[in-house]
Amino acid sequence: MNPASPPMLALRGVRKRYGAVTALAGVSLTAHRGEIHALCGENGAGKSTLMKIVSGIVQPDAGELRLNGRALRLDGPAHAMRQGIGLVHQEIALCEDATVAENMFMAEVGRRGRPWMDYRDLKRRAAQVLARLSPDIDPGRRVSQLSLSQQQLVEIAKALTLDCQVLILDEPTAALTGQESSALFRVLHGLKARGMAIVYISHRMAEIFEHCDRATVLRDGRDVFSAPLAGTTADELVRCMVGRDLTQYFPPKADGIDDSGTPLLEVDGLCDRQDRVGGVSFALRRGEILGIAGLMGAGRTELAETVCGLRPARRGAVRLRGRPLRVRGYRDALRGGLAYLSEDRKAAGVFLDLSIAQNVAAMALQRVSSRWGWLRRSAEAEMARDLGRRLKLKSDGVHVCAACLSGGNQQKVAIAKLLATQPSVLLMDEPTRGVDVGAKSEIHHLLRDLARQGMGIVVISSELPEIIGLCDRALVVREGRIAGELSGPAMTEEALLRLASGFTKEESA
């Protein structure tokens, strides 16, 4: 990094309004050649809008953009790519019916002046790029056949095929395993050494401080902090992001869970038909937050889906309050008092084209319908307002389209939709994925409040600090089975990882 040379990317006084809402109020940012620059802020702070302007998706109302010292006005995303600006979106935007290789080189279609593509060459070039990130992904497979984390890696590989001067990554590790994240960072440090300017958007403090050189913080559409990370602490960065101290990031745990009575939820010998879940048994007490940890692909999501009927069970039993619960589908689970939050909020969490109120009421229409079956819009709106207040949802009203909300607020709408069903048990799959540090803390406190009111909560998370800080106990899943249980002081990152990987202390000696 050479601060004396012109910044590779420079933004000055960038402004953007959407109607009465000010998304950006004069933001400035510089990213130098050979630098990984963190862009931080709560959901709704303006990060995504700023990066959409840099990548040509959105036009600013005012301000200046310079690339390598040269003033630039972008006509669209294709123009930005030609100028050497690449963007990896937080939300996956691949063509599911096309192959991995076709998605990676989609930008080349129509460029070569000939009516066909050399698919053998595409696969060869795609394999070369993927070898640096995830060599087990077949360039010839359709994207629809890939897992969420593999699709995220294809999005990143797609950007690496461009001849970038500036690479922007928006929450790239949100769906990745630790091993996949490590591979990504090796690639990013290699690109940094070659002189690329990388803008890295993340809510994960550990990643930012380990891999980034400088940070800029946005709050309420303004840049409120910009400095090298070497002289900055995580607490200072968080204070700048939220405008206040988060004195207790995780809420205090329960003093003790009463295990004398009948468990709220019992799962006994549960197996699914695809053999991804093999004979799992566990119990959940009233007022308890139970963590489910494990490596990506270990069967955590499949377990939750089998419990709530989204995945057919081959054998096993589920009991709620001591009574057998026959779950033939998700509707039976909801009627019994089990609600499930998917890890993929875009595909299965919220209806993006519906309003907040319509989303919240979608699974609880009986609560907002008249005795003759008519939908009462006023009751729908009031229920959404009430749950929105509990979740500290930030919006311009409950009739706003969900697609207009930030990722963190969309997640809160997805949670509100579940709470509207008045469940006894919540199964939460990655409940804070892609959510900023302030909203994470709010969700953590909400889950603990629900537990204190007698609800039982299962939290599946890839973030081990979240499992340790939030949950009363943790079960570790490995290859579709329970590898062990930890609680209290024994619940450490090392112990969780050893159980998840099957690596014992004796083997490491």
Instruction: Identify the pLDDT of residue 3.
Output: 54
Share of the chain above pLDDT 70, in %: 95
Strands 21-31 and 9-18, by their bridges, are: antiparallel
pLDDT at position 358 over 90 = yes
Other beta carbons within 10 angstroms of residue 136's beta carbon come to: 7
Report the amino acid identity of residue 232: T
To the nearest 10 degrees (0 to 180), the angle between helices 437-452 and 407-419 is: 10
Alpha-carbon span 49 to 227, nearest angstrom: 21
Confidence tier at 92 by pLDDT (50, 70, 90): confident
Closest-CA residue to 165 (of 129, 199, 209, 213): 199
Q: How many helices (H) and strands (E) does the chain have?
A: 18, 20
Integer Cα distance of 460 and 466 in angstroms:
10
**pLDDT at residue 396 in the model:** 85
Confidence of residue 507 (pLDDT cuts 50, 70, 90): very low
| Whole-number pLDDT of residue 143 | 92
Q: What does the pLDDT average to over 153-159? A: 87
Banded pLDDT at 184 (limits 50, 70, 90) = confident
Q: Is residue 26 pLDDT above 50, yes or no? A: yes
pLDDT band, very low/low/confident/very high, at 503 (cuts 50, 70, 90):
low
Tell me the pLDDT tens digit for each residue of 291-306: 999 877 789 999 999 9
User: Residue 16's pLDDT is what?
Assistant: 94
The pLDDT assigned to 248 comes to: 64
Q: Is the pLDDT of residue 438 over 90?
A: no
User: At which residue do the structure tokens 């000010």 appear?
Assistant: 22
With a cut of 80, say whether residue 501 has pLDDT above it: no
| pLDDT for position 91 | 73
Any idea which of 18-22, 120-124, 279-283, 407-411 has the lowest mean pLDDT?
18-22
Does the pLDDT at position 448 exceed 90? yes
Residue 228 scores a pLDDT above 90: yes
Q: Could you say which of 3.40.50.300, 3.40.50.720, 3.40.50.1000, 3.40.50.10490 is the CATH number of the domain covering 261-337+423-502? A: 3.40.50.300
Q: Which residue has the tokens 């209290």?
A: 488
Average pLDDT of the residues of the chain:
87
> Looking at residue 509, what is its pLDDT?
42
Burial of 154 (0-12, 13-18, 19+ CB in 10 A): buried
Strands 425-429 and 456-460, bridge-based pairing = parallel
Residue 113 binned pLDDT confidence (cut-offs 50, 70, 90)? low
Percent of the chain with pLDDT over 90: 51
Hey, how many other C-beta atoms are within 10 angstroms of the C-beta on 215? 23
pTM higher than 0.75 = no
Is 117 a residue whose pLDDT tops 80?
no
With 90 as the cut, is the pLDDT of residue 27 above it? yes
Mean pLDDT, rounded, for 222-245? 84
pLDDT digits (tens, 9 = 90+) for 258-268: 777 789 999 99
Task: State which fold the 9-242 domain adopts.
Answer: Rossmann fold (3.40.50)
Angle CA 355–359–361, to nearest 5: 120
pLDDT: which is higher, 174 or 184: 184
Helix (H, G, I), strand (E, B) or coil at 265: strand
Neighbours of 161 (CB within 10 A): 18
Domain with CATH 3.40.50.300 in the chain: 9-242, 261-337+423-502
Mean pLDDT of 325-341: 92
The rounded distance, in Å, linking the Cα atoms of 72 and 92 is 27
19 vs 213, which has greater pLDDT? 213
d(CA 268, CA 286): 18
Quick check: 508 pLDDT over 90?
Answer: no
pLDDT for residue 245:
57
Rounded to an integer, what distance in angstroms lies between the CA atom of residue 413 and that of residue 391?
A: 9
What distance in Å separates the CA atoms of residue 428 and residue 415, rounded to the nearest whole number? Answer: 9
Highest mean pLDDT among 17-21, 209-213, 395-399: 209-213
Using pLDDT thresholds of 50, 70 and 90, give the confidence band for residue 269. very high
